[in-house]
Amino acid sequence: MRTIFHLDLDAFFVEVERILDPSLKGKPVIVGGDPKYGRGVVAACSYEARAYGLHSAMPIRTAYRLCPHGIYIHGSHGEYSHFSKAVKRILEQYAPLVEQASVDEFYMDFTGCQNVYGSLFAFASFLQKEIWEKLSLPCSIGIGSNKTIAKIGSDCLKPCGITYILPGMEKEFLAPMPVETIPGVGKVTLKDFHSKGIYRIGDITKLPQDYFSAAFGKYGIDLYRKACGQGSEYLTIEREQKSISHERTFSDVTSKDFLKEKLFYLTGKVCQEMRDVGWLASTVNIKLRYSDFQTLTRMKAVKPTDDDKIVFDTAWSLIKKAYTRRVAVRLIGVRLTNFSPYSEQEFLFEDYEIKREKMLRAVTRLRDKYGYSIIGFSGA
């Protein structure tokens, strides 16, 4: 039986901002878009702001309507990476294996370490104290037999909580929880579950696995396994990133203009991430899922690029060719693969392509400093 920790830094962006500006402590702080223009979404918000109904991914104009007296800031994105790396260095001093899942989430494998650290619940408390004393960052920790159950556990007693799910008790632990507790269950899937009378995780396990396989395919099988408390038991360490992707699920739509607008946003995000790591992509991939869950993927090779326009034009062309049925669409996605390192070249004369390349790098620097929503393109 494995022992996996999932450590989640509580309101991470907000807490870093409070380290940089102590006057923000105890106040409703929202990191994200600019409410003056009504653009963007909430990237993170303090627990004081959550008391007004705010949450991450909420449209910034909605957040401002609920909490007009809150303190809205773009965020110090370079500092977030700095503090995240500092947390990882602390964890690597104690954990045999550490996997960083995101800027504020870490998995650790402490299997067989009871003889070294004694009570793992007490050791989790030690880790919390260590990170707080050295970095002034609060965190919550979930302990379980696999990554899924540990991740769910870390969210149970926020902030600064520790939840230890005993081996063999995973299914009973999950049964009374809302189905949206399962990682990967979004608004569309939740609506489908509710229409079928499924509200609690225990409602899933009362039905046969074949039912979910027939209704949702491989995704349904994965959901059923998670509802039973199963998940990956092994960490992935220093994996080479072979793709960058973003996708969006929505209530069934048929408007091509709507799909085009969403694809424009998604291609901007993947290109931004690619420029952040200094790569060029040679293959553009798209995903299109109909409302009946039929899923299509298409790909096209391109000259190595990180240009939003080239990626968008290629992806939209693939989407238009793939969308041939008179059936609503529930998901689109774009994925970039086949990377090569970016190398800047000097040219005697600046033509359009070179000027555009410099513009893209300027946009990247602004977004890295002030957030993705600070600037956008009026067209692809």
Q: What DSSP string describes 156-187?
A: TT-SS-EEE--TT-HHHHHTTSBGGGSTT--H
| Cβ-proximal residues to 370 (8 Å cutoff; 6+ apart), any chain | 74, 75, 77
The Cα–Cα gap between 370 and 74 comes to 5
| Cβ-proximal residues to 58 (8 Å cutoff; 6+ apart), any chain | 41, 42
Apex 132 CA angle, 131 and 133, nearest 5: 95
Cβ neighbours around 95 below 10 Å, total? 20
The Cα–Cα gap between 273 and 306 comes to 10
The Cα–Cα gap between 352 and 149 comes to 52
Q: Measuring CA to CA, how many Å separate 213 from each of 210, 224, 228?
A: 5, 9, 15
The tokens 């991914």 sit on which residue?
A: 57
Stated as kind and residue range, the H or E segment containing 213 is helix 209-216
Residue 87, helix vs strand vs coil: helix
Q: Measuring CA to CA, how many Å separate 223 from each of 101, 216, 252, 330?
A: 20, 9, 21, 18
Q: How many CA atoms lie within 13 A of 36 on its CB side?
A: 6
Which residues are the active-site residues?
105
| Tokens representing residue 322 in the block | 């793939």
The Cα–Cα gap between 186 and 192 comes to 10
Report which residue type is found at 289. R
* Greatest distance between any 2 Cα atoms in the chain: 70
